[in-house]
Structure 1
Amino acid sequence: MTGPIDIQKRKPEASRSLIGRSLQYKLTFLILCCALVSTAVVGFVAYERVRSAAIEEAKEKLGGETRLMAQRFRFTYHEVARDLKMISEMPPIQGIIRAQRNGGIDPIDGSTENQWRERLARIFRSFLVQRPDHFQVRYIGLADQGRELVRVDRNSLGPFVVRPENLQQKGTEPYFRLGASAQMGRVVFSEVTFNREHDSLDPREIPTMRGMMPVFDWRGERFGMLVINIDYPAILKRAFAEMKPQWRTILVNGQGDYMVHPGGPEASVQPFQMHRNYTEEPPPIVKHALESTQPELGVESDHMMSYIVNDDDGYGGFDARVSIIVQVPSEKLFAKANEIGSEVFAAGIGVVFAFVLGSVFFARSLMKPLSQTAIAIVENVADGLILIDAGGRIERFNPSCERMFGYKAGEVVGQHVGILVAEGVGEEFRGEFITHARQSQDHGNTFEVEGRTKSGALLPLELSVNELNLNGKVKYSAVMRDISERREMERVKAEFISTVSHELRTPLTSIRGSLGLVDNMLPNDLPNPAYQMISLAQKNTNRLISLVNDILDFEKLSSQEVTYEMTTVNLNDELVQAAELINGYANEFSIKIKTELPATTLHVEVDARRFQQIIANLLSNAVKFSRKKGTVILRAQEHDGQAEIEVVDFGEGIPEEFHGRIFNPFSQADSTSTRKKSGSGLGLSITKRLVEEMGGEIDFVSELGMGTTFRVVLPLITALKTPSRIVLPAGDTRRLALHLEDDADFTAMLGETLKDIAYVQPARDLSEAHEYLAFNDFDLLILDRYLPGEDGLSLLDALPPGADPIVAVVTAIDEPVADPRVDLAIVKSRTDTPEIVERLTDLLEEARIRKHSAAASASGSRP
């Protein structure tokens, strides 16, 4: 009986076990279903979010790459505009105009129109040698139906000058009307067309874009234009060759001309397509770009994602806009997103977390090809290109930068960009490089700065900085161009002008002295025509010397070679002296100089010699343009802590259209050969620079028929300063000389010629000379005896005890000097400048030997 009883006892336990397993299966099934549903929902949501994020990030990366490409193409237009502006400032441009307006002879330097044309042709030819993509440069006048004045072409043998008989009339060409109507200083670009010669198509069939800049004469009247013919497909191919884009890239201009690069380092560009005769129907994205008004946009289609940058850089004409399009196939961007989606739907809850983590890695790896493309562009651009973060730290440094600065990329990445800027630029600029760059970008795309190489050498750079937005972060791309060669050309030009001017001034000074001596020696009964000839020669010699001096001053100011001896002066005394010095000139025009000075003494800090030059320029201009027997007022007053100096004339006034150019070099309201008032046109330009570099301001008011007032404002000095001792830099072994002379031109010339062996301190009167003598031990005194109301020899009575300088009298009066303290006496009119310099050089060497001997005697040793 025990067996059945045991069996019956086990049935409830088995039943409970089956029920438990059933519940367990159901619960497991329920959990599994929930997990599957949750996985599906979470996976779908995660997949959509990852895919959406991947698309947005791809667009940002693609946008950054496209902006970098647009910046490179933008430089193509900047280069043409800069070349046109540089050529427009060359002397032959205005020289041809002056010669044409004055019977074929330039009244400024006597050059003929043909000579100016030959000089310009040489400049054009040198320019084409440097620009392989440009095949023609022309200077076209408006007259004679747009007659070409100077033209240089390029053929298979290189640049050549077109003969005068082959020059053409271009007045009927569409681009001529565009260039002829452009605003002053404005560069415009023509439609891309086939070039035409003698009303027929050029057989070379070069798709040509023309950069044009109008030319105006000194009166602001339109004269003609400069035109550069550019092989448009060639410049596009060169840009593509430098960038080597990885993805399909299209450049299209405002008319619909376009060129396609298929993408890839080995690919070559497709043929250039002109909108007037397409050989292939343009891709739809080209039409989209032409119709778009947005500066940037992304376009996603079924099979392709495109990013467009529309760049309008402010140039006028047909080609004011250029669009850059970069295209990436959708399957390339989103292949992994689709793969991850299928894995997410097949995996469990744990895979969801792995998918989320993997999606981050996936997004990064997906964007890696685009990052590599951007890197390739940076690495292959011909100009130096760096990428900077918002804090000014360098992130990318391309090979051109490595060659330019001598650093390897690894040495500068992570460093502040200020290490590439010269110490002399100033710590403020170095520390706030990005701020200064952005401010410069607001006023123009490029600016110049002194760079510094790894070796410490200075490197002049042209810099362009553009702000980018990459992945929501602000970055800056900076393109740097070495302009050492351009600076050298400017230096050579300045040295040439300076050398020519110096070579002219020496014989002119001798001629002036000789003419003065002849004038004094002429008998009283000499016929009147002979006197007139001598007077005419003297006046023209003085005009030439004045012109040469103006050119030298202008070149020194332009090259920042002018040094200033800033001292505190009595403004009232300076103005009285200026009025006295101009009186002789004013008497020639029957003009009275009237001074109106305040009762209290005003003091300003200026270079006294340069200040006299400023007032002399303003007074001489006022005298020239006053009515005969009129009055010129020279007044000064204090206003708001500043000294205001006014020069007032009551002449004809300045034409309103000339107001904006009055301080420009070589500008004159009347520049014809028949003008009544002589002058170089440099005086006011020099005056403005001198005033501003001494911390002042200058402006004017004028009314036609009523006269003109020029106003100079300088800061007042309330606490007078004592002249400081002249201290030469360490290692400077030059002698110290004091030159007492009231002829500023002669003082400047002598100081310039002796600058390698002596520092020559000018003094215009005895008072100033006494101050310098009290604080310095001079090796050489150069004295002019006959100063206004003073005898320069009296300075020797004020020599400090123990002072034993060598004394040279250099004066205009031919009479013996009996003073035993004088070592040498020179008469200016009987001694040419080279001899004066040679004799003073010998004295300086004697001074060196004398000082050395004195030092040796004091130490008890033999010299």
Structure 2
Amino acid sequence: MTLDRWLSRIPLESPSVFVKLIPTLVGFVIALGLSLIPGVVADHIPLFVGFSVTVMVGAVLLATLVPWTRFGAGWSVIVPLVAMMSIGLMRIGTGGSTSSIGVILLLPFVWIATEEGRRNIVIAALGIFLVLLGPIVVAHTPTSPADLIRAFFSPVIYAIVAAVVNEIAHRSRAQLAATRAAAQQREELLEQAVRTQDELVLNEARLKTANRLIQSIWNAVTEQSVIGTDLDGVIDVWNPGAEKMLGLTEKQVLGANRKVIEFHLVSELEDRLRDMDARFTTVAGMDDFSALVDTVRAGYADVRDWTYVRADGKQVPVQVAATPRLDENGHRVGFIFVATDMTQAREFARLKDEFVGLISHELRTPLSSILGYLELMRDDDESPLSAEQLQYLGVAERNAHRLLRLVGDLLFTAQVESGRFPIDITDAELRSVVAASIETATPVAATAGVALVSDVPDEPVEVRGDTVRLGQAVDNLVSNALKFTPAGGTVTVSLRRDGDEAVVAVTDTGIGIPAVELSQLSQRFFRASTATRNAVPGVGLGLTITKAIVTAHGGRLDIASEEGVGTSFSLRLPLETPRPVAEAVPGAETTA
């Protein structure tokens, strides 16, 4: 084995006890060789030299055979103490206090002084004191005062040196530990940086893949227009669907600082602002934009029918879902408008209305005939029916009347969609209308276990309108309230004057309606999710008919609801003579 390979196996960072003994052992061997040369040592005592060699051999055996790692670190100083004793015996055998061999005492002394712990300062100084005192104890000749002074004074100097060496070693160890810790920390940081770099590369690849996917999806949305704006309505997002629907490219819109209200009918924005009781101004800006996002600003999504105006002036009926745009902190930074072209849907609805109107007319005649023959059977005195037959006849009559009412509702909604339905404008007294509705609904309320409360003033409240149609509207509201109120709840029907309006309010403590669905309640056949979830019967025509009747009388229908708390419908009619919105058809048949 070469010297370099041998030295490479020495654990320099944490040397073993034998490795630490090697410098002392080398110095001892050199001193022993010098002592055997004739004339080099003046006073040679072979016995002490032999003892010295034996003790050093014992030190070597202790260093190599004893597993010092199993003991505490402080016990390893036994080996340098034994070596120091061996050197002391060598010193006695080679001239005592005058021997030059004593200089190698520094090697085990420094070894002890550099070990961790302040006690090693005392151990090193005490070992030196015993070794220096040895020649005086075993001397055959009188000891001089100088030898005594040297024997007691030298350990003090050695103790000071040991303290300095111990402190330097302590600081060196602390600095080495800090350096190792810093190196380990740098290594950990480097490993972490490598891992982070790998994660960044992976995340970047994932992000590119996600961006490609999102871009593909974005480009594939061509049937819906997606328009994004900032808080002021300036467009900053324009998808291919918007380009197809409105006839403008992304560059034409985003680079021109255009606003979303530019693609809306001004008349629809004005109507919406009036419905919001907002003050309309002729200045295009936030007032117009508020018509689109007022509900969204309140914290709800808004789905509403609008009309878009293309770049070529063509109008496109659309259904727009407006939602907020949020940043990473959840703060609103703009709005998103997703529009669906309703041209085909409107055409289908028109064809459906024509079909419904045709079928309704065709169904009325046979139903009326059925009811007529049923009445003849009931009134036939020559062949009277039995009690059981009368019971069956009653079931048939009730179902026939129910079908006739449904046919009437379908026919009425078809007339509403066409812009023409029959109303007969006369002087109408609302107290009697409300009282009749309450009287009709009282048995239903009692059966359902719902308290029906009337709050009607003593003085008359008169409007210009169709008494039958107004009664139909109030009946619909009261019937709905009873259906959606569980047993033990309350339905309150009130009538009051509010400025130049008469207000009929129907308030219940029922299941309520989700806020996002309030704007859709007047759509035909629409039913709230709370209604379908609770299996409340109905076809979704009552509110459509009610709103049409109120609108025809120049009034409006206000709705307020909270899911799980209840709903309030307010039917507002002008006290002065209105100009009907729908055209009255004199002498037309009234459908109940």
Query: Which TM-score bucket, shorter chain as reference?
Result: 0.3 to 0.5
Compute the TM-score of the two structures, normalised by the length of structure 1: 0.30
Structure number having the greater helix percentage: 2
